[in-house]
Amino acid sequence: MTTTSDTGAAAVTGLLVTAEALLTEGLGGPLTRAGRARGAAYALRIALEAAVDATLLSKEAGFCGVRSMRAKLLCLRHYVGLDLAHRVTALWSRLSAGCKYQHDEIGPSHSQVRVWQAAVAALVTELAAPGVTLALPQQKGVRQAPLDETPARAVVTHHAATARTGTVPPATDET
């Protein structure tokens, strides 16, 4: 029986092989060097997206119906950590820019796509590695306010003290 993560891993591997074939000119045909670089960037971006999808599915994050990659990338940090999610988002953005064709812009160079290829391979490996699932920020270490203390009351008290003295009062636990 094949699981979703096995299928995702096979798809990612196939896309990385396709990118390598495009960069080494192994596919033949009428592709130019710039066309091969752009095609490899597409394959790398789709591989990264598939790795993110597999990660979120393995965490049972409930993103089955979400199609927006930007939404997935925003939520990824809660499941893999801020540093890894930031690197994935930055690389995805660069790959997206490299995939777009503008008649007055030069596409990604062969060497740039090679750098992206190494980065995608490293990030796919990091995303696939079993790790600790992080708790959502509101679930860890948040101080519960007493019932008589409301956020609006704290803001009004802070604003009144600032308006009276012209300076910001020191932060205290008491309101």
The model's pLDDT over 57-79, given as tens digits with 9 standing for 90+, comes to: 877 767 677 788 998 999 888 88
Q: Residue 161 pLDDT more than 90?
A: no
Question: Considering the entire predicted model, what is its pTM?
Answer: 0.69
Dist. CA 97–CA 120, nearest whole Å: 15
Can you give the pLDDT at residue 133? 55
Q: List, in sequence order, the alpha helices (H) in 24-150.
A: 33-58, 69-80, 82-99, 110-128
Structure tokens at 10: 């096979």
- Burial annotation 11-45 (CB, 10 A radius, 16+ → b, else e): bbeebbebbbbbbeeeeeeeeeeeebbbbbbbbbb
Q: pLDDT class for 148, splitting at 50, 70, 90? A: very low
The answer to which of 4-8, 25-29, 143-147 has the lowest mean pLDDT is: 143-147
The residues near 119 (Cβ < 8 Å, ≥ 6 apart) are: 87, 91
The answer, yes or no, to whether residue 174 has pLDDT greater than 60, is no
Task: Check pLDDT > 90 for residue 89.
Answer: yes
